[in-house]
Chain A
Amino acid sequence: MTPLSRLAGKPWIWSWIAAFVVWFATIMVTGGASTLGLSQAAFTFAAFSIIVGIGQMFVITLGPGNIDLSVPATMTLAGTVALKLMNGDNGMIVPGLLVAVLIGLAVGIGNYALIKALRIPPIIATLSMSFIVQSAAIWTNRGLRIKPPSFLADFTTSSTLGVPNVALVALAISLLAWVLLEKTVYGRWISAIGQSMAAARMAGIPVDGARFVTYLLCAVLASLAGYLLACFSGGAALNMGSEYLLMSIAVVVIGGTAVAGGDSNVPGIWGASLFMFLVVSMLNTYGIGAGVRLIMTGLIIISVIMLAGGRRTGMR
């Protein structure tokens, strides 16, 4: 196979093509004036979707019915509690990060406990968990608006060599996720579980262990994204996670991951996250009103999924 036809066979290529087309269409209107600014903004905002999207992708890989709807609530709780603990003090950055990760672990344990011990389908289990977590966030926050430590605020909003720092964090996490998915035994396990849980069990795979770790991973990545987002936007808000419910699922689907499980890829998450941000900025640049903009966003997403659809079997 030629390199080009191999590339065309990759499920993630469509999200990259879509992102590039939208990016190009946007800078054409402005005559190339805002190229750098638009690209930096895209990478900055996409970084948060990438981090939560990767977590969601691992969960969706586990097969039909597996989904984590507690992502937004986990982001909010981790962001509010960490900011409250750090209280603007640069010396408290590490403890704040640890608390955020601990919250992620606790949510993950809670999610899988509900799924396994009470045999609740994941969609219901994680949704009920998210009510508990969101209520906890309301209880700890009580409308306070605490500024993040100045070092973190600077770090998340600035760039290194022109690349936004949050995008670098997302890149590091993506590389780890890629190795985990493509190169490790664990990656093989979750792909096998996603294709057939019964066959995975009979092949000697520790099915419950692997699923538990996956739900943990998703919740921890969500809490990490919440921590970064709260610092980036200058304070935690109770609705800060809400747009990431749809976003985390949309980037997985547009990125070419099989919704039926077993077949995932990391690069697609990047293409899809950039695309999701760029579509909105493109329509803004064209000066389209809010209502039409939402309709067009929906239509564009649907057409990308249709183009990228037609699931290819085999060859992995």
Chain B
Amino acid sequence: MAKDLTKAVIEIGGARVSFGAVKALDGVTLAVMPGECIGLVGHNGAGKSTIVNVINGGLTPQEGTVASDGERLDRYSITIARARGVRCVFQELSLSPNLSIVENTRIMHRELGGFGWRGRAAHVIEKSLDQVFPNHGISSSQTVGDLSIAERQMVEIAMAFSDAGIAPRLVILDEPTSSLDASLARQMLDHVRRFVAAGGSVIFISHILHEILETSDRIVVMKDGRVVAERPAAEFDHHSLVEAMGSVAREDALHRSARELAAAPVVIRHQAAGLAFTARQGEIVGLAGLAGHGQTDLLLALHASQSNSWWPRSDSLVTFVAGDRRLNGVFELWSILRNFSIASLGDLSRLSLVGTADEAARGGEWKRRIDIRTPDMDNAILSLSGGNQQKVLFARALATRAPVILMDDPMRGVDVGTKQEVYEIIRQEAAKGRTFIWYSTEMDEVRLCDRVYVFRERVITAELAGDAVTEANIITASFEVAAA
């Protein structure tokens, strides 16, 4: 990294990008200097992912310039970006699930070709994994599809920081911690600081504001395709950052009202190894613990025990909100409306003919209620930003009549303002008697729950209720085997 420290690694000048009528970027100027970590924040659809795509060469802006090391680049592309050491960790996980980690490494690094590439690729990725996530326990010969979503994300992050000839100079991290639990996120943030201290640059996108505040040197706030604030991180605090993003901070929303639910009837139960799982009517039950320790498996087991794959049921007990939306959430060919209505077609049809007027009315109602940002519900689902797609999945589940809602870490990539709105809806629905079973990797969300089960190594090891639901208790239970 003997490059000039006064010239920007990448400098975007006045970039404009529109997708049809939607202005994704409206004149954005951004310079990334060597040895700094830029925190990039903004609501869903503010243009964060678009600017990232411009920087990594995936998208050519309709107007504006791209320069690197003081040299203007007229024909900028992914290949040129990679040759200059620009790396990207995508919000949508981008490894090939049918290949092993080593094989994916070979694809990412063309330089690894030739005889004996397996050995070289394994060396490169293992070295990087060891650096970023010490004691990760991932073998580089594993197939990516067999990894948990957290492990996949770890590999993806390690891949971006790995060096196979062309050293990484600018690493873009788009929601890198969304699937990681607190301790893994810590390891990654520490590595970001080490990388920056050694002269590398990082663009760090996250909705978890304290991560941004403590890791970045400079924070750039985007809104509606423009940069609305850009200051050193030290000049921001949690409150002013939320304000700059344009949403009013509602601190009180994080307080859980103590409710007496011991008398409510049990609506669903499950017994596996470890403590028994029960959920009562109107209760918000949290599933906590380190990421990938069996929480999703419990949700899938609950769903499987209540659904019939041969015969439709109009009075299903459970419905499901996916976290891994590309795997088991979104139907990519369909419009937003069809994605929304698929789980409640039974209510929207007569003699099994879908009532399209009812469907559109119900869709319009939920578009307003949960603020899905689209001009038309008939637009394709993939025209929405990731967070808005997640809102559609929420609306899909909430619009059913199912009394129990299973949530598989559904807030990944959802912005702060929307989260508050969804928390409010969850609270209202719970007050009406609906039960929420909520797996979350975010401590703030777990603390909203009435009762929390803590998982460790695929077993429920602790149950915390009421005032015992605290960060300290959950972390303690996540790392220690409960005295059985």
Contacts and interface: CB of A to CB of B under 8 A. Distances in A.
A201 B304 CA distance: 9
A32 interface: no
A188 B309 contact: no
**What is the interface residue range for chain A against chain B?**
20 to 34
Nearest to B320: A202
B71 to A, nearest CB: 37
B335 A206 contact: no
A201 B328 contact: yes
Contacts, number: 102
Interface in A193-244: 195-196, 198-209, 212
A289 B354 CA distance: 52
A314 interface: yes
A186 interface: yes
Given A196-B331, A263-B333, A314-B335, A188 B311 contact: no
A66 to B, nearest CB: 16
Nearest to A315: B380
Contacts of B352: 184-186
B338 A188 contact: yes
A2 interface: no
Contacts of A179: 353
B331 to A, nearest CB: 4
B303 interface: yes
Interface in B119-136: none
Contacts of B349: 184-185
A192 B382 CA distance: 15
B332 A195 contact: yes
Interface string A273-316: 00000000000000000000000000000000000000001111
B381 A199 contact: no
A192 B330 CA distance: 9
Interface in B326-350: 327-335, 338, 342-343, 345-346, 349
B396 A206 contact: no
B396 A203 contact: yes
A228 B127 CA distance: 68
Given A184-B354, A188-B342, A209-B312, A204 B307 contact: yes
Nearest to A186: B352
Interface range on chain B (Cβ under 8 Å from partner): 35 or more
B329 A202 contact: yes
B383 interface: yes
A199 B333 CA distance: 13
B309 to A, nearest CB: 4
B382 A313 contact: yes
Contacts of B320: 202-204
A207 B333 contact: no
A101 to B, nearest CB: 21
B342 A192 contact: yes
B353 A203 contact: no
Interface in B312-329: 312-313, 316, 319-320, 322, 327-329
A316 B334 contact: yes
Please indicate which of the listed interface residues B309, B320, B333, B345 has the most CB atoms of chain A within 10 Å of its own CB.
Answer: B333
A6 interface: no
B310 interface: yes
Nearest to B300: A202
Interface-central residue, B303, B311, B342, B400, by most chain A CB under 10 Å = B342
Contact of A206 (B310, B378, B381, B382): B310
A242 B329 CA distance: 41
Contact of B331 (A183, A192, A212): A192
B335 A316 contact: yes
A258 B353 CA distance: 24
From A192, A201, A204, A205, name the one whose CB has the most chain B CB atoms within 10 angstroms: A204
B335 A196 contact: no
Contacts of A199: 322, 327-331
A183 B353 contact: yes
A203 B322 CA distance: 9
A196 B328 CA distance: 7
B379 interface: yes
B6 interface: no
B271 interface: no
B382 A188 contact: no
Nearest to B408: A202
B333 A313 contact: yes
B390 to A, nearest CB: 14
A272 to B, nearest CB: 20
A127 B156 CA distance: 41
A183 B309 CA distance: 22
Contacts of A185: 312, 345-346, 349, 352-354
Contacts of B319: 204
A228 B353 CA distance: 30
B136 to A, nearest CB: 27
B338 A316 contact: yes
A224 to B, nearest CB: 22
Contacts of A271: none
B308 interface: yes
A122 interface: no
Contacts of B379: 314
B313 to A, nearest CB: 8
Contacts of B331: 191-192, 195-196, 199-200, 262
Contacts of B332: 195-196, 313
Interface of B: 303, 307-313, 316, 319-320, 322, 327-335, 338, 342-343, 345-346, 349, 352-354, 378-383, 396, 400, 402
Top-9 shortest CB links A-B: A314-B380, A198-B328, A208-B309, A209-B310, A195-B331, A202-B320, A203-B343, A185-B345, A202-B328
21 contacts: A184-B354, A185-B345, A185-B349, A185-B354, A186-B352, A188-B345, A191-B334, A198-B327, A199-B327, A199-B331, A203-B320, A204-B307, A204-B402, A207-B309, A209-B310, A212-B310, A258-B333, A314-B334, A314-B335, A316-B335, A316-B338
Given A192-B342, A204-B313, A313-B382, 9 more contacts: A179-B353, A184-B349, A196-B331, A199-B322, A199-B327, A203-B343, A206-B312, A209-B312, A316-B335
